Structure 1
Amino acid sequence: MSKAMRSALLAIGIGVIAGVIELGLPAEDMFRAMRAEIRTHDAPSDIIVVTIDDKTLNALQTNLPDRKKDAQLLDQLFEAGASRVFFDKAYADPTNPTSHEAFEEALKRHPETYLAIAPPLKEGVHDYEVVQPIERFKENARLASMIGQSGPFNLSYVFPTATPVGRGSVPSISAGLAGYRGPQKEYRLDFGIDIHSISRVSYIDVLQGRFDRDTFRGHAVVVGQTYTGTSDVHYEPLGSKIPGVYFHALGAHTLREGPPLDLGWVPGLILSAALMLWQATLRKPAYRVAAGALALMITVPLILDYLSIGVDVFPAILCFTIGMIALERQARRVFDESTGCLRVEALESATPDDSVLVFALKIKEFSFITRDSSNKVIIDFIREGARRLTTTEGKVEFAFHKDTIIWLRPRIETAELADHLAGLQALFRRGIAHAGTKVDVAAHIGVDANYEASIRSRIATAIQSAEDALQACTPAIIANSDYLTARDKRLTLLSDLDEAMARNTVQVAYQPKIELATGRTVGAEALLRWTHHEHGAVPPEEVVAMAETHNRIDDLTMYVIDTALAGARLARQIDPKFQIAINISAIALTRVQLIYDITFLMSKHHIPAENIIFEVTETAPLDDRRVEAVMSALREFGIHLSIDDFGTGHGALNYIKRIPGTEVKIDRSFVADMTVSAESRSVVQATINIAHSLDRRAVAEGVEDRETASLLADMGCDYAQGYLFARAMPINDLLQHMRQIRIAA
């Protein structure tokens, strides 16, 4: 069973308990009272309250009218055409014989007179005895129950239609007033009927005949106390104190069309439970449906009130609210509310599955693209990227993390995976609308195919593979077992590289640079060499790429420069004009601090600037202003710059023009083919001519035979280096080589 389903069932259980124990009764009554305020209307005029009010007591100069006056009142009411008269009083106490006989005779004359009775009642620790008229009155009058029950905080009132008395039952005053003849039951008073609009006539006015004769014709009458100080007062819901006699009249008006149908809390809870169970089956809660359901739970009871149908909604609302909060919290843990994508944590919690591949698509320069965008624009951008992926990936769930879209999809055979990756790349070749324009998106994909690992581990691997693809400028990398082995090796090498530099066990080899016209050794190129204790010799380009990827390039650059200048200091003792050439990373050129670090090392090793050449690869990012600024500062110090591997990059002519260099190195791929390729010879000759036209030296690398050296000399090439002259060697061997050449000269 899913967590969502368990949450839904728990919420339903809470709703059932709330309904059974009437947990929300005060809230329910408050809601009923508020609905009653909305639909307030006047009471009909066919039930009249005769009020024993302050006006009556003042006129009679007594505390209460005696029974003789009550007898006169009965005569007046029935003479005026009243159909039934109810006294909200039990007449249980004896009185003087004259009044007693007068009232008894009146009861005999008017058999449609009802006297109040209160049956025995047990309430808490109190036992209340029956309150009823004395026997002689009971024999000549009908009885009606005057009891009712208020809800918590007097927010509702429940009256019976009849009350058990002895072996039978008597109608309630309200049922008698309404002429109700239906089954015995309890009902709620309808406070949508304005209790203040109930028709009333003062007791004294009836006695003295000061009323319209049509007032009582055919109508039921209830007589009760309304004077100041009477104890028979109760609070109207959301209102003030009201004499109890009005509640009987209000009950009678409520029963006019029959007692309201009270459906209770079960129907509402059933509907709420069904909706909750449906929500639990969804990918994430349907909030609009939930809002609509809550709106219905609030509005439908009001509509039903107009139809005299009562329904309790608190258990349903409680169930739905608790359930939706639980589902919402679960959804927040699974989905990012803003993007609608899954959270990575939700994908990570999936169980291992050897039938799926894990994909990670990294959006290059995502933070730059969205740097000035609002949250909404960024979210739309992400959603558009995910939407495009659905065209090939189908109904998969996408997660978004920082700048990477992650998803799981069914396994694809290796032979088809390359085509699928090409298709994913094609989806992003068309610009994505962003902030009112379209931007080109470079996407790099990592795929984890290590089926035995946990999903968490596979996601991390896919993300790292996408990052590696970005760093390697390749569209995609599939992280299979070979890749993971290579990655683990790389991480091990990276850790050992730090330690090797700390112990000075990373070496620098020196390959002599020869002047072709004289054969003189004019300098050497410092080349990185590292022999790992376990993996053996590590290719320099692999070391540099690893250092660049893992933010070690600055440390490695300064280590090589420091070591190379230390060797150059020894070489200058043999030849003061000796120039040391050092390769410098394009990434290192973006760091202004490089200038200060180099000047410090120059001072440390006493190497003049003119004896230093920094070889800059043709792929250095000249669109970064920091690179041009750093190179210009190096030239101002007098340090020479050489364009390395010239001819292999893009826009070579523009590049050589923009770099303030003094030297151009012809890439070995052209030099190696000179003797067999006319095209390569033409490229080499053109490069030499371009360099000389810009007053720069031309250097050929990779010279391995005499014929190539002779051709280069005939073309006017200035310097050369390669196996023909000498291999890269340790500093001591270089010094010995220089001494031997000097002796021979």
Structure 2
Amino acid sequence: MRAVRWSGVAVVLSLIAYCVLVALAKADLFHQNWFVLVVMPQLVFAGSAVTCLLRAARVPGDRLAWAFISAGLACYSLGTVLWQLVYERRAEVPYPSPSDFLWLAIAPLSVIGMWLMLRSRLGNRLSALLDAVVAGLGVASVSALVVFPKITEGATHAETLAAVVTNFAYPVVDLALAAAAIGAMVALSAWRHPTWLLLVSGFVVFTVADTVYLFLLLDGSFVHGGWNDASYMMAAALIALAALRRSADEVTTPGNRNLEFLSPLLFGLLPIGVLITTSVHAAPLAVGLAVAALAALATRTALAMREVVALSDQRRLARTDSLTGLPNRRALYDLLSGISTGSVMIIDLDRFKEINDALGHQVGDELLRQVSARYVANVPPPGVVARLGGDEFAVLLPETPRDVAARAAAGLLEALERPFIVTDTLLHVGGSIGITALRPGAAVGRALAEADMAMYRAKKARTGFEVYDDAQDRDAWDRLAMVEALRLALDRGQLSLAFQPIVDARTRRPRSVEALVRWIDPERGFVPPDVFLPLAEHAGLMPLVTRNVLDLAFDEARELRQLGHEIAVSVNLSASDLIDGRLEHEIAQRLIVRDLPASAVKIEITESLLVHGGRATEFFLAVRELGMELLVDDFGTGYSSLAYLHDLPVSTLKIDRAFTNRLTTDPRTAIIVASTIDMAHRLGLNVVAEGVETEDELARLQTENCDLIQGYLISRPLPAADLHTWLSTAAEEQRPPETSAQPGRAQIPRQRSSAERHSPAS
């Protein structure tokens, strides 16, 4: 944008200087010369064309549209230069001349540019496009009635047909440019968006300036170098200012729905006024435009009626559960927002999953329909039953205290005790109910969360129903608050990564780094991963966490390669990540976007994920197909069969720190570690020992031929900037010194001693 801004600043300064000189000339304080009359206007028009061209070339978005607008301004500037250098001083000037064609080209090129911008924002929104047509034709009909007759007076008296066509072309293209600008403004509510307001204002000012010029020309009062020329330059400057904005104020729908419906009606009054006026004074062009505007308005009105009906149906469907016909979660939220006192219950069916899995979804759906009908029959009025999703329902009891709600809950549980008959099968289900009281001023989500906590307590204690109690449910509420804070952190990109080096067990040369997620909450401070990751898994946020981590890890992998460090970044995945069938494609896309080789990133999975089979196996094979390495983390702590190490494309085992920390103190642990390393090597796998913190542990691992180590003996997890410094230091240490007491053994500075240890977050 820097080049665009400098070009725009030059345009504005040229305009200001010209206006100052015109004012001085009008006050007889300055005599205008060739530079002011010829060069300065071209600086503005040519500068505006260059500004728009730079906008098209250097800023993504609307490139073709800005290119057309730039071409229009360039044509107008070139036509003026051609006129001043070639035709102005001739005794016989051809009409039309090439300059006329260049001047006229600004309108169609600019209209195409505006149309491209309009289509990119509105797509196939026919109603908004019709608004533009109604507004444009309405303004055009009035202009044709008021301006067109006088401007075209004598136009037919030209000597040649080309001259007649040219005489009519000027007011017609002005009319088209004004109509397009006004129409675009209405369709996009341009008065609310600076870029569009500047752009449309520029074209409107140009049209007004050209119309005034034609009037002055007809009256014989036009003077070159006056305010009329300044108005042309002002129009070009406004267009250049619009190009200065980085975003084109992206708008897909108008923000004010009232104005969206009001604007076509207001502009629709214009052609009606034109028709009334032309009933007295004939004006065929104005009548034609007015009729066209009214036809567009009629079409727009019919479309609006269809949209209203469709919107009503969509609103009803959006608030209704399609399976049971009950209000859904959105409808319940709306109802809760209008009630200040009462009680709300959350009901979760017991044993429904077993029935659904054993007998199929059709039986499960029919059972839910019968359950919902039984709920409705047993909830006292004015209570409302809603289905939140799955086998979870809610009951809203306005103006009902908790003790009365408790009796209603007992009645619902009693109703569930009677068996259900589905496809000649007798089915029994139970329920767990949580109850909370609505409080004035409390958030809607708080009430449902409290009832949900009480329901889980009832399910765990098998008591049937429970009433929310701050003393008992405080921990659950704190966990829920943390989940919401994590959700907000994900939206704001507040997660970060620390990186722990993995080095060669003998040379200590860096081989890779493990990416470890970190979250520093503004209120809670540092939240350990072993606290927030299980909550993310439970709340269904793990896919979002994983995508945030992948983006950060891939960015760091690219950064490391740009700095000259050819080492990989390994990323941990969870069980819920493997369920997503898109993950391997997204990983491949990240490699392509960042221009990274597959060796730049490694994938780590826990041992327990090996036995998942099915979808997990598909993911492992897809990752291997990409050429990426697959590591098994925390090996020895899970329950997988050794056969999976043979069948799946695993390249490395990571021995858990629980074994490494007892390596020198427990002979049985030492035997397990030695056996694991030997087995892995026989299978062709590398071994990483995690949690190495002492030289004794390292020496023992070297004895057992362990390949790689990771732990505080080498480095604690580091932020990216510190990692880059550490790697640079490591590279310097690895260079052979001129003289060395111990050649071949480079000592990388330790980041923390074993006395300072604390468990690094995974």
Q: TM-score range by the shorter chain?
A: 0.3 to 0.5
More helix by share: 2
Would you tell me which structure has more strand in proportion to its own residues?
A: 1
Greater length-normalized contact order (CA 8 Å, ≥ 6 residues apart): 1
TM-score by length of 2: 0.40
